[in-house]
A and B are shown apart, each in its own frame.
Chain A
Amino acid sequence: MAVNKFPVEGSHIMMFARSIADGNEIYYDEEYAASTEPGRVIAPPTFAQSSAQFDPDYFLRPKIGEDWFGSGKEATGIKREAGSGGGGGGGGGLHAEQHFEYHRHIGPGDVLTAEVKPGKTWEKEGKRSGKLVFSETVTEYRDQNGELVITARGVGVRTERPVDQ
């Protein structure tokens, strides 16, 4: 996904921190944050992943007026055979790995861009889910001055069938 404008906002950081059950005041209280070493509200370490909110084409968000593959009356809103199409994670396969390198910690007021570069792909035979196809992407987050702030590397996996439990 490419994101042309990811404005980092205080309320989004607060909601994100709540969603990972992190009550650290540095994520929402400006006064407290001013007394800390960073000196301002910063985002939790994995916050950059929520740049998906600012990708107009992000495929795991329902779009107005378009069919959605989750359930309504039926188990899925689009025509497709159960268990077909790669399985294992519904729409996008499963997340296998995620890595972040922090060049600077981001906070409210930063306006980021995200540029995605495809990485390696490889295959492996899995014990619990058949053939596994891995694919890597590298995302470079830059700030309003064009400075690299976070380098992210994600690995996704598509499984032949759902993972045995």
Chain B
Amino acid sequence: MALAAKDLNVGDTYTECLVEDLTRTQIVMYAGASGDYNPVHSDEKFTKEMAGYPSVFAHGMLTMGMTGRMITNYVGDGRLTKYGVRFTSQVWPGDTLNSTATVDDVTDGIVTLSVETTNQDGAVVLSGYANARVD
């Protein structure tokens, strides 16, 4: 269902849990579907010994994709006109992510949202914005 401008107020929020205890398998699924096979996302040996990280970690685009699910669940299908993010911290296997959209503005049939995804420690892993058409 799409949103109606008359029902929206600046400061309204919508929150979803994106994932609990992120699995390596989910990350591998993202690699396979997206075509980004960078070993830092699936190859523990390479990642520890060559890249210098404690374990494999999620594609930023997996976090952006899951955050996009929260946004489309809120604004409705086919309503997005813009969606952009900055990746501010890495996401690791075992992480639990929550994501919130906040209404910043509603003008001329377009809602502007600020978007933030945080991990179980409260660290922001993704921050961004989205614009969507509203009724």
Residue numbers of A with Cβ under 8 A of B are: 12, 15-16, 18-22, 24, 26, 36-38, 42, 44-46, 49-50, 52-53, 58, 60-62, 69-71, 75-76, 80, 82-83, 87-92, 94-102, 105, 153, 161-163, 165
Contact A42 B69 (CB under 8 A): no
Do B32 and A90 touch (CB < 8 A)? Answer: no
* Count of chain B residues with a beta carbon within 8 Å of a chain A beta carbon: 52
Residue of A nearest to B1 (CB): A37
Pairs A–B under 8 Å by Cβ, sample size 16: A21-B26, A22-B66, A22-B69, A24-B73, A26-B77, A38-B78, A50-B35, A61-B37, A70-B42, A71-B39, A75-B50, A89-B38, A90-B51, A95-B61, A96-B87, A99-B85
Q: Are B69 and A20 in contact (CB under 8 A)?
A: yes
Give complex CA distance A32, B26 in Å: 26
Task: Kindly report which residue of chain A lies nearest to residue B54, judged by CB atoms.
Answer: A165
A16 B33 Cβ-Cβ under 8 A: yes
Is there a chain A Cβ closer than 8 Å to B2's Cβ?
Answer: yes
Return the contact of A12 from the options B33, B60, B68, B82 (Cβ within 8 A): B33
Q: Is the CB of A87 within 8 A of B65?
A: no
Q: Is the CB of B71 within 8 A of A45?
A: yes
Q: Chain B nearest CB: distance from A139 CB in Å?
A: 13
- Min CB gap B92→A, angstroms: 9
Chain A residues, CB < 8 A from B43: 70-71
How near does chain A come to B131, taking the closest CB pair, in angstroms? Answer: 9
The interface centre, meaning the residue of A22, A24, A26, A38 with most chain B CB atoms within 10 A of its CB, is A22
Instruction: Give B77's nearest chain A residue, CB to CB.
Output: A26
What A residues does B76 contact at CB under 8 A?
A: 37
How far is it, in angstroms, between the C-alpha of A162 and the C-alpha of B85 when the chains are bound?
Answer: 22
Select one of A89, A91, A96, A99 contacting B82, CB under 8 A: A99
